[in-house]
Chains A and B, each alone.
Chain A
Amino acid sequence: MLDAAFLVRRQQPGLLLSALSYTGGLAFGLAVSAMLLVQAGVPASALVDEFLVAAFLTSDGLSQTVTAALPLILVGLASAVATRVRFWNIGVEGQLWLGAVAATWVALHEIGPESMRLPLAFVLAALAGSGWIAISLVLKQRWGVNEVISSLLLGSVAFLLVQHLLFGIWRDPANSFPVTAAFPPASRFSALGWGQLHAGLFVAALIALAVWFLLERTRAGFYADAVGLNRQAALATGLPVRRTLAGLVLLSGALSGLAGMVIVSGTEHRLNQAVGNGYLFSAIVIAYLARAKPFWVVVVALALGAVFTAGNVLKVFYGVSEGMIVLVQGTVLISILMAQFFSTYSLNRPS
């Protein structure tokens, strides 16, 4: 029935058509999201106010947006790096939790001299994230276990480990919630004097720059694209496929782990149950919208940071649930996925 119109894959979708289907999908997704928000009881005028004016054009809002964007940049890059080599890292949240745990360990147990606390937390968080995704990587490379499921299940395991710590040895007895004690000052990123913004900004910016350089300007980045485009061809050409894949996947885990560190050392100053929530979908949506390009990851992460900022305001003033942010992300994602149809295929009548 549905094949009565004959579907043909376009050889070379024109730039204009691609741009149109992408923006069309984005606009449609955003429109549906706006309708959902209005349905949930937010006046339409408040949407414009919160998303554009408050999140970007006021000093307070902008600083919040940038602060929220920092971990988003890192998880977005994590997802983008893995996407480049066609490895589905669905365990971003798990690696983020492990990174946060590593940073918390350094902070609470006061490991090393004070000046070295943050660098040490940085290294350990990256290693913890890499180590966690390494399990999925090994399972995939060695036995062909599907990484979508293994990384996701390990994400659940990581969250339970955090629960174990928060309800156990790390619980702050002075607090009625399951959270750790606040970090000593040596384990906090210093504030930059603009809202909540902290020195993690430089970390995220430098990392984004480094990842951009790696993917777009080095041989490893070129190999990665070759592996992602056609693994068989890359193997046949004699490229170091396994090494490239492993390197980028481990980098992906490290980036997620660092996102965890930036959250606990930068904004929360303690480990709690909400640190990693929702970053999985954010990471996937950012990497997909940005077409796995580091520069665009930063742009999309900033835009999503604005959604988070606005979402917080809407939550307080209009009682919109936290689920709304996940819903908006899912809606925009599927809308763009569906709109791709128009640039990927053309309809020809059977001759």
Chain B
Amino acid sequence: MDFLIGWIAIIPNYATPLVLASLGLIICERAGILNLGAEGLMAVGAMSAAIAVLSGGNPWAALVAGAASAMALAFLFGMATVVLRADQTLSGLAVVAIGLGVTGVVGRSYVQKTFVGIPNLGDIFALERDTAVARIVAVQDPITLALPVMVGLLWWWLMRSRSGLRLRAVGENPAAADVAGVDVQIVQLGAVLASGLLCGLAGAYLSVATSHVWVEGMVASRGWVAVALVIFARWNPARALVGALVFGSADALVPRLQAVGADIPVYLMMTLPYLLTLLVLVIGSISGRRSGEPAFLGRIYLRQDKH
């Protein structure tokens, strides 16, 4: 029972960065731009936020710093893919390389320095940790709490609002959107920047809200899991939330088992989230026929090609 409570309590902690990153990627890919750079964007966000706190910043301001610096990298990606129409797969991989490289170089002198991050609800409201519920609630943080609202708003904006429709139109049929008066490039650039913001936030969450420290390689493939999660979620924010909870629980299992001193092959257990991701992709492909994929995802739109 104790184990179960401990496990449930930390699942949101593991799921939150995945949700944030997938929401960003969903916006980007709904506008037709394939963004494989999440891993690099998250690394930049995590490092910048940690540096901000270590330089005496407020943890909340650090989240903004993380998001902003990831947006700068996303802007480079947008220049390459939207404005200069470069190959999106390769550009995304270049963004990962730049993100991981920059954090390795710049973050060198900030590695392993712990700091005071975002407080959890238990600290904010001075909760008594006597009941099971209280113990679970106490370790949540305000960001996790706000997450369902964010997902709901984003879903509404994407599926019900006029500007959301425009964004989706660009990803489905940019020629038609263009004729209807939508500025395709501006929408795509905005979507890319939004993905930078949310991936940066996801990274910043990792360092400032979860670990309270920065170490190189701290994103540890979570960006890639988010990329896969988007496919599983069929580009739907609500499904991304569910998916992230599933992966979060797999991810959180190993440290919990270690914490209670279970004798398990740790590294083999750590393959679980990756294998689960693969399994989910396969199941999604068998049953869903990849439904929901924006029709123009990853392709290059030129007015010349308009029929």
Contacts and interface: CB of A to CB of B under 8 A. Distances in A.
Given A3-B184, A3-B185, A333 B85 contact: no
Contacts of A1: 183, 185-186
B108 interface: yes
A164 B264 CA distance: 11
Interface in B87-133: 87, 89-91, 93-105, 108
Contact of A153 (B83, B95, B274): B274
Contact of A324 (B105, B267, B304): B105
Contact of B274 (A7, A146, A157, A323): A157
B100 A326 contact: yes
Interface string A20-59: 0000000000000000100010000000000000000000
A8 B266 CA distance: 55
B296 interface: no
A195 to B, nearest CB: 27
B65 to A, nearest CB: 20
A139 interface: yes
A284 interface: yes
Nearest to A168: B265
Interface stretch (B1-9, B220-228, B255-263): B220-228
B104 A144 contact: no
Interface in A117-158: 139, 143-146, 148-150, 152-154, 156-157
Contact of B94 (A157, A325, A337, A345): A337
A216 interface: no
The range of chain A's interface size is: 35 or more
A40 B105 contact: yes
Contact of B93 (A167, A284, A331, A344): A284
A341 B85 contact: yes
Contacts of A337: 80, 84, 86-87, 90-91, 94
Interface of B: 36, 40, 76, 79-80, 82-87, 89-91, 93-105, 108, 178, 183-186, 216, 221, 224-225, 227-228, 231, 265-268, 270-271, 274-275, 277-278, 281-282, 285-286, 290, 302-304
